[in-house]
A and B are shown apart, each in its own frame.
Chain A
Amino acid sequence: MRERNKARVATVWLDGCSGCHMSIFDMDDRLLELKDRIELVYSPLVDAKDYPKDVDVALVEGCIGNEEQRKFAHTMRASTKTFVSLGDCAVTSNIVAYRNPFKMHDVIHRAFIENSEGEIVLPQEDVPPLLPFAVPIHEIIDVDVYIPGCPPSADLIHYTLVELLEGRHPDIKNRFG
């Protein structure tokens, strides 16, 4: 159900560090004031478990690092009007791509065999398989707006959101927020 006069906004955390979400929260009072203009339909802040239909704006942090995220990107795209890649991980895959030059086997081996004791076991049940390379979101789906920064500043996020709510395309000049 659509609340009248409110934009349906989602904030999503893929393979990132949550820092871009912290920057969303760094809008401080402005985050509370947005309550009159937006309906937060999907976000780490709310209890919706399924990505809803008819999302007006999605602010998406992080890149695509595993199979689940790759599928989820398509799900989001199909239900979202304006898809925003939020932060350097979403835009370039940033720090997450540091793992790309290494073989997956070596990465897992360091964490779970070299740096663990006891029986040798690798996580493989009930956990999503990793993609061999972490990639920026636009390699998987079309993205409408890019906000670079690690993380982008709260001011830049607020500006972008308000422009989109006003029906304008934000002009992102502040390259490193």
Chain B
Amino acid sequence: MTDTAPHIEILAPGAYASLQDAGRRGWRRIGVPWAGVLDVRLMRIANTLAGNAENAPVIECFDGGLHLAARGGALRVAVAGDAAVELESGGERRPLAAWRSVTLNDGEQLRIRRMNSGRIAVVAVAGLAVPAVLGSAATYPRALLGGLDGRALAAGARLPAAAPSGLERVLGTPPADDDGPLRAMPGPQDDHFSSEALETFFSADYRVSAQADRMGVRLEGSALAHLGAREIISDATVPGSVQVPGNGLPIVLMADAQTAGGYPKIATVIGADLPRLAQCRPGDTLRFARVDAAAGGAAAREREAATRRLLAAIRPLAGGIDLAALYAANLAGDAVHALAPEYRPLN
């Protein structure tokens, strides 16, 4: 990459930032997890806002702190997720709404200051170019696959992108939070647990521990007793598998988790609800609700339909006025500042 070609420079990765896409399919049989973005909906929204294909590679970041700059020319970036975003230009800082795309001129910076709710934001960059490894750009650091040299993003990383074209875009009404219990299907080893343990799993409060990342989310709360052996002959895991090791405390496996495991799996969180678990912060409490296969399938279709409605609601930002951001900041009625987002105070 030449310094004069448009590219993103990572100034700080925050808590953890990595390149992801829809994930790496077809290699679980040789031990390669799918990896991929933890919340596919955020990736699809961010890419659509940026004018990319829905599954193009994106930057997924945790807990705020991601800080990047446009180099070598103007770029178009978009943030999906409930993030407090800040734009910095010539030493001046101003807040920017999430759920929109924006043009960063050469040298301008974008920072995810913090997450208002949730843990994960997704940043799309128009024309972001990352080579695919085994069919995907998703970073899986354990085996150095995807991303940049298989590693998480670090300060100084540079990602080639494209010059902006067309209008900036906005998602007027971001998806609403859903605080309902996480739906899970019993199995594949629910028969390794007593009916009391299953009852506990589907009714007790669990707390997200500090060990919650792209591999798995360890939960604290009521221990679940095994019937008989605490280990099984290793079999396949899936994203959403709820493993119960010897101490009885469940671990929900996420995108980067090992593909096989020797702990009985009491249940599996359905795909429609797994992104909500990924968004839980350490200390958050949650519950599980039992669903059957038919309800799991229906939930997948409902989530897809809702995602398609969100994508269809993305509109060009006419004349550069970000009405959604104005309403979100409760400044739409402010006669002085209504058309000048740069005067909005930091929140």
A binds B: no
Which A residues lie at the B interface, using CB under 8 A? none
Which B residues lie at the A interface, using CB under 8 A? none
